[in-house]
Amino acid sequence: MAKRGSRGGKKVQERKAAEALRTDLLSAVGMNGGWGSNGWSAGTNSERRGYVYWPELDTAKELPPVTRLEILRKARWADAEVGLVRRAVGGLADMVGYQTPQAETGDAEWDQLAEDAVLRRWDNPLAFDVAGKMDAWGWQLALTRCRFRDGDNLTALGKSQSGGALMQFYESHQVDTGDKLKVANIYDGVYLGTGGKHLAYNIVGKKLDGGKSNKKLDARDVIYHADFERPGRVREVSKMAHAISNIVDMIEILADTKHGIKVAAQLGVVMTTAAGAGGGQMSETLAAFLSKQGVGTDACDNDVEINLDEIMRGGRSQSLPAGADMKTLQDSRPHPNQLDLLRWLVRDIAWGVGVAPEILWEQAGLGSAATRYLMAETRRWIENQQRVQRRACQRMWTYTLGQEIKAGRVPMPKAARWWQCKWIPQADMTIDRGRDGALEIQQIEKGLLTYQESYAKRGKDYQEEFRQLAKERAMMQELGINEVEAPELTQEGA
């Protein structure tokens, strides 16, 4: 009995300790709510600040379909109407560029056959795209451009009559729930599985008779392209979501400022009257002169028509009432404060996209060191975006090559990982081509850089370049031409 009693006493002590801990936690929660404070000012309300409204903490539900589509609609409007947004969408997509595959199974002969077979289809829009609008390189740019503007997109994988790979591109608004509202596991056009896994997608289209069509595509048959900032989200939002309100404000500020400038330009002069002077009524002749039309009187009190041709014929003198003065309006708009505000809005938009404002707007005033830093930071951003792009490219490469092997146009590979390849981006942009070139030569000589990496920076395949170089040297020997040695790089040449 004593043994049981000791156990009971231990349980009582544990229960009391748990109740004490619960009391302390509730006390902390009570201090954190309302107008109280526990030291964390970010977690308390204040009379000096507005209430922060963020009603949903469930990541999967924080972006309802109606909200995502409204942001998408405004982002497309901004992309169509605002040059800054076109730069943030199309300009940055061009900076990311496209990537070229380089097969790397270890079998050089088979790798060349695989690359030739895939690129034959990829270079031809009619053989690559169901709609015949894009080749593989334009498709990659469309992936990035639509992802920046809309948030996501989808590419369906199909095949032609000859068994070759074909793709069909769907934009973000086409992936929608449609009339599948009663389906339990569909949300915002996506059929969801365990853990939020994408199982399939519902594609909404229009029939020839004007009605809507719904098509279900399995996730294994499509490439869903998005870069999830929040892994718990079902769909991703536009990269311009943070900027929409600022963009609308910028357009309204500019519109009001331009309207003010136009009104001031139309009212060229005003007549002022000193206090205590005459009535200050403007004569008919002067009114007609200022308005460039109407009827006035000449020196003999005869009616004359005042028109622009008469005014432009030469100088003209007008009499003013006593105490009156003629002044020209001087408009100082846009005010420097307005320009500073617009610059601040541009900076907020640029940093939200992920790049420095100078990349989107202007680089005036930057020194060489600051420019090099911005280029290095932008290169890091581009590499991260190319990594996202490569996921879609690898799927397309594997599917296209698999179809070519299945159709018998490429022999069965010996390597188990027949889909393995590297991706070569377009050539890096640099402001120091000579300096960078000299540095690369030194790094190659010291074994710190490979030829593959060096050629990849220029958007080239080192194997193709070596084969071309061997052909040129063999032809020079055959024709008896001495190979010209490259001049040594001097400090000035560097």
Res 33 pLDDT > 60: no
What would the pLDDT profile of 131-187 be if each residue is shown by its tens digit? Answer: 999 999 999 999 999 999 999 999 999 999 999 999 999 999 999 998 877 888 999
Whether the CB-CB separation of 413 and 107 falls below 8 Å is answered with yes
Alpha-carbon distance of 197 to 205, in angstroms, equals 24
Dihedral sign of CA atoms 308, 311, 312, 313 in order: positive
Going by the DSSP 8-state scheme, the letter that residue 305 receives in this structure is: E
Average pLDDT (8-29) is 74
The secondary structure element, H or E, covering residue 258 is: helix 244-266
CA 433 to chain centroid, in Å, comes to: 27
Burial tier of 228 (Cβ tally within 10 Å: 0-12, 13-18, 19+): middle
Residue 488: band (very low, low, confident or very high) from pLDDT cuts 50, 70, 90: very low
Alpha-carbon distance of 318 to 52, in angstroms, equals 63
Q: What is the pLDDT of residue 259?
A: 85
C-alpha neighbours within 13 Å on the C-beta side of residue 210: 0
The secondary structure element, H or E, covering residue 453 is: helix 451-457
| Residues shown for the chain | 494
Res 493 pLDDT > 50: no
Res 355 pLDDT > 70: yes
Alpha-carbon distance of 406 to 434, in angstroms, equals 47
User: Angle of helix 136-150 relative to helix 108-122, nearest 10 degrees?
Assistant: 70
Alpha-carbon distance of 474 to 91, in angstroms, equals 43
Query: What contacts 338, CB < 8 A, 6 or more positions away?
Result: 253, 257
Average pLDDT (305-311) is 55
Strands 324-328 and 269-273 come out as antiparallel
Bridge partners (DSSP) of residue 212 are 206
Q: What is the pLDDT of residue 197?
A: 95
Residue type, 306: I
Closest CA to 153 of 74, 65, 236: 236
Res 287 pLDDT > 70: no
Res 6 pLDDT > 70: no
Residue 491: band (very low, low, confident or very high) from pLDDT cuts 50, 70, 90: very low
Average pLDDT (182-196) is 91
Q: What is the pLDDT of residue 70?
A: 96
Q: Six-digit token pair at 18?
A: 């748990």
Helix (H, G, I), strand (E, B) or coil at 184: coil
Q: What is the pLDDT of residue 18?
A: 80
Residue 494: band (very low, low, confident or very high) from pLDDT cuts 50, 70, 90: very low
Bridge partners (DSSP) of residue 272 are 325
The region of weakest confidence among 1-15, 237-251, 296-310 is 296-310
Average pLDDT (217-238) is 95
Average pLDDT (447-468) is 75
Q: Six-digit token pair at 273?
A: 């009257």
Whether the CB-CB separation of 233 and 167 falls below 8 Å is answered with no
What would the pLDDT profile of 77-134 be if each residue is shown by its tens digit? Answer: 999 999 999 999 999 999 999 999 999 998 989 999 999 999 999 999 999 999 999 9
Residue 331: band (very low, low, confident or very high) from pLDDT cuts 50, 70, 90: confident
252 vs 333, higher pLDDT: 252
Q: What is the pLDDT of residue 282?
A: 56
User: Angle of helix 136-150 relative to helix 368-406, nearest 10 degrees?
Assistant: 120
The region of weakest confidence among 42-56, 221-235, 367-381, 446-460 is 446-460
Q: Six-digit token pair at 4?
A: 């049981």
Q: What is the pLDDT of residue 397?
A: 97
Which segment, 169-173, 412-416, 481-485, is predicted with the most confidence on average? 169-173
For 375-425, give the secondary structure using H, E and C: HHHHHHHHHHHHHHHHHHHHHHHHHHHHHHHHCCCCCCCCCCCCCCEEEEE
Bridge partners (DSSP) of residue 222 are 156
| pTM of the model as a whole | 0.73
The C-alpha angle with vertex 80 and arms to 75 and 81, in degrees rounded to 5, equals: 100
The 3-state DSSP composition of the chain as helix, strand, coil percent (nearest 5) reads 50, 15, 35
User: What's the whole-number average pLDDT of the chain?
Assistant: 82
Closest CA to 353 of 228, 250, 242, 247: 242
Helix (H, G, I), strand (E, B) or coil at 312: helix
- Please give the full DSSP string across 64-104, using - where no structure is assigned: -HHHHHHHHHHHHHHHHH-HHHHIIIIIHHHHH--EEEEE-
Average pLDDT (224-230) is 94
Alpha-carbon distance of 217 to 326, in angstroms, equals 75
Res 3 pLDDT > 60: no
In the block, tokens 């994988």 appear at 157
